[in-house]
Amino acid sequence: MADTVHLMPPMGRIALRGRPDDRVFLDAASSVLSAAPPVEPNTAVLGPVGIFWLQPTFWLVECELDEVEDLTARLRAAVAERGAAVEVSDTRLSYTVQGPEALTFLNKGCSLDLHPRVFPVGRSALCAFAQLHALLVKTNDAPIFHLTIPRSAQAHFEAWVRAAT
């Protein structure tokens, strides 16, 4: 199972806050991100800039690390008083979970139904994973998942992975 889980390179991350029923906010964010923040719970926009629904008024935006400062500034200016954009790159780490044992591994850590009919590409969920608060996103039908955890929990998570294999 060691071939199943891989630490991803550092990503730029932005906490985006605003009201999903505020058309001006959504249009402003969309103009900067080139995609609208998803308003359907547990969904994501995948692409060069990823946008993950976390709560009704909260999204996590991911981008290349060298682009995060500029993107944060442009997003903050665009949403102005209607929302907030704060860089949070250093708060989280992401792992790719893939390969023939991916679902077996994920099922050891959380109780989500990951069947493709229930959890298709673009589905995301905040969940308890290995006693951690995590974001799980399906990015590919292979299947490939991204699992994002608090950076402070890296040692716990990696010890859990070793014990689970």
Tell me: the pLDDT tens digits for 93-152? Answer: 999 999 988 999 999 999 999 999 999 999 999 999 999 999 999 999 999 999 999 999
Residues 13 and 84 in one domain: yes
Judged against a pLDDT cut of 70, whether residue 1 lies above it is answered with no
Judged against a pLDDT cut of 80, whether residue 3 lies above it is answered with no
Residues 12 and 85 in one domain: yes
CA angle, corner 25, sides to 75 and 82, nearest 5?
Answer: 85
Measuring CA to CA, which residue among 53, 50, 131 is closest to residue 94?
50
Residues 66 and 134 in one domain: no
- Structural domains in the chain (count): 2
In terms of Cβ atoms closer than 10 Å to its own Cβ (0-12, 13-18, 19+), residue 126 is: middle
Instruction: Check which CATH number belongs to the domain holding 36 and give it.
Output: 3.30.70.1520
Residues 83 and 97 in one domain: no
The whole domain housing 102 covers: 91-164
Distance (Å, whole) CA 58 – CA 4: 30
- Structure-block tokens of residue 94: 């992401």
* Last-in-domain residue among 70, 90, 110: 90
Average pLDDT, the chain: 95
Say what the pLDDT of residue 164 is.
87
In terms of Cβ atoms closer than 10 Å to its own Cβ (0-12, 13-18, 19+), residue 146 is: buried
Residues 107 and 76 in one domain: no
Please check whether residue 1 lies inside any domain of the structure.
Answer: no
Judged against a pLDDT cut of 70, whether residue 2 lies above it is answered with no
Residues 20 and 83 in one domain: yes
Say what the pLDDT of residue 58 is.
98
Distance (Å, whole) CA 61 – CA 50: 6
* Last-in-domain residue among 33, 61, 90: 90
Instruction: Check which CATH number belongs to the domain holding 105 and give it.
Output: 3.30.1360.120
Residues 17 and 67 in one domain: yes
Say what the pLDDT of residue 153 is.
97
Judged against a pLDDT cut of 90, whether residue 24 lies above it is answered with yes
